Amino acid sequence: MSNHIVVSSVSYAPISGTDQEVMEQTHKDLKDLVGRVARATRADLIVLPETICRNCDEEVPEGPTTQLLAGLAREYSCYITVPVHQKERKSGAVFNVLGLLDRQGKLAGIYRKYIPVYPEFDHGTRPGPSASLIQTEFGPVGGVICFDLNFGELRAQYKKLKPKLLLFSSMYHGGLVQNFWALDVQAFFIGSVYKGTPCTIIDPQGTTLAQSNNYQSWATARINLDYEVVHLDKNQAKYDDIHRQYGEAVRIVTTGQVGTSVIYSETAERTAADIIDEFELVRLDEYFDWSRQLRTEHLA
C-alpha cells in the first residue's frame, strides 16, 4: 500500500565559542530553523547535520538539545534527528550519535557512529557497535554519520538489514558516494550536511530528487516507501501488462544507464510486493544471486 511521507534535510553551520555560548546560540537557531522548515514543508521527518552543538557532551534523551528538539517534534508533529555527542550517565563514555525522536517527542532509537574520524578519539569519542535499525511508523530507518560513508563493511551490514531510509548526518558531503549508498542498499538516502555543500534526498536507484541551495538551506521531497527494486532483465517485458492492468495505481521509475527500475504502489489496495508476486517479477538481489549461480554452474 502506498506509504507517502515528506522528508526534509537541513543545512546548518555550527558556531564557535564556549560550550555555554555554543549551546545557547545553537538552540536559538534550531527553534527558528526547524520551525521554518516544518511550517514550509509540513515534513514528517527532519534530518539535522552532525554534532550540531559541536563538542558539547550531553545525555540522551535527558540532555538539553534532545529536550529542545523533543518539544519541536511535538509542536510540529514530526520525527526529528538528534545529532549530538552523547555522554552516558553511568560509564561516562562519549559517542557521536544520531538519535531519532518520534512525533510525540519520544526517543525512537539511537545510532552510534561506526568509525569516528581520528581527532574524535582525542575528544574521547568511542566507536559504535554496528549498523542498526530504528523502527518508525513509516518503516525501518538506519543512521550513517559523516566518516562512516567511507566504509563498505557498514554499507554491507545495512544491505542485509534492508532499511527503507538511510539518514545521513554529516560535516562533509561525500559526493557520488551518497548516491552509491542509496543504490547499493536500495534505500532512500536523506543527507544533511554543514553549510557550503547541498543537503540531498536520493532515491533507491541513486537518483538525486532534491537538493538545498544558496537560497534555501533545506531539501524537501515527498517520497513513497512502498517500493521494490528490480533489474530490467527478465522484468521489463512485463511492464506494459502492469500498466494495462493497473494504470496509475502502479508507478514504475526507470533510471538511465543503471539497468534498474523501482516499482511503487500508489494505491491502498495492494503493495509493491503484491505486484512482484502477481507478475512474477524478479527482485534485483534475487537476479544477481541467480546470475552468480549461473556462473558457478558454467565454471565446470
Do 30 and 56 lie in one domain? The reply is yes
Q: How many domains does the chain have?
A: 2
Do 109 and 242 lie in one domain? The reply is no
H-only helix segments in 186-260: 239-246
Report the C-alpha gap between 120 and 32 in whole angstroms. 29
Report the C-alpha gap between 62 and 215 in whole angstroms. 35
* pLDDT, tens digit (0-9, with 9 covering 90-100), for 130-186: 999 999 999 999 999 999 999 999 999 999 999 999 999 999 999 999 999 999 999
* pLDDT, tens digit (0-9, with 9 covering 90-100), for 246-296: 999 999 999 999 999 999 999 999 999 999 999 999 999 999 999 999 999
Hey, which residues does 99 pair with through a beta bridge? 82, 110
CA distances from 195 to 31, 201, 202 (A): 18, 16, 18
Strand positions, DSSP E, 161-267: 165-169, 188-192, 200-202, 208-211, 218-224, 227-231, 250-254, 260-265
The residue segments making up the domain with residue 241 are: 227-297
CATH code where residue 210 lies: 3.60.110.10
H-only helix segments in the chain: 19-41, 64-76, 118-123, 152-161, 176-185, 239-246, 272-278, 284-297
Do 67 and 104 lie in one domain? The reply is yes
Do 74 and 128 lie in one domain? The reply is yes
Residue written as grid cell 509493491: 272
Work out the angle at residue 292's Cα, subtended by the Cα atoms of residues 288 and 293, and round it to the nearest 5 degrees. 115
Do 76 and 206 lie in one domain? The reply is yes
98: left (phi over 0), alpha (psi -120 to 50) or beta: beta
* pLDDT, tens digit (0-9, with 9 covering 90-100), for 206-216: 999 999 999 99
pLDDT at 103: 99
Q: What is the 3-state secondary structure (H, E, C) of 39-100?
A: HHHCCCEEECCCCCCCCCEECCCCCHHHHHHHHHHHHHCCEEEEEEEEECCCCCCEEEEEEE
Residue 9 near residue 219 (C-beta atoms within 8 A) = yes
Do 118 and 173 lie in one domain? The reply is yes
Q: pLDDT category, 90, cuts 50, 70, 90?
A: confident
Report the C-alpha gap between 182 and 202 in whole angstroms. 7
Three cell numbers, residue 252: 514504475
Report, as an integer, the average pLDDT of 227-253.
98
Do 182 and 249 lie in one domain? The reply is no
Look at residue 89 and tell me whether its pLDDT is greater than 90: no
**Among residues 192, 224, 256, which one ends one of the domains?**
224
Q: Tell me how far the alpha carbon of residue 114 is from its chain's centroid.
A: 16
CA distances from 146 to 28, 83, 210 (A): 24, 11, 20
Residue 106 near residue 93 (C-beta atoms within 8 A) = no
Do 105 and 232 lie in one domain? The reply is no
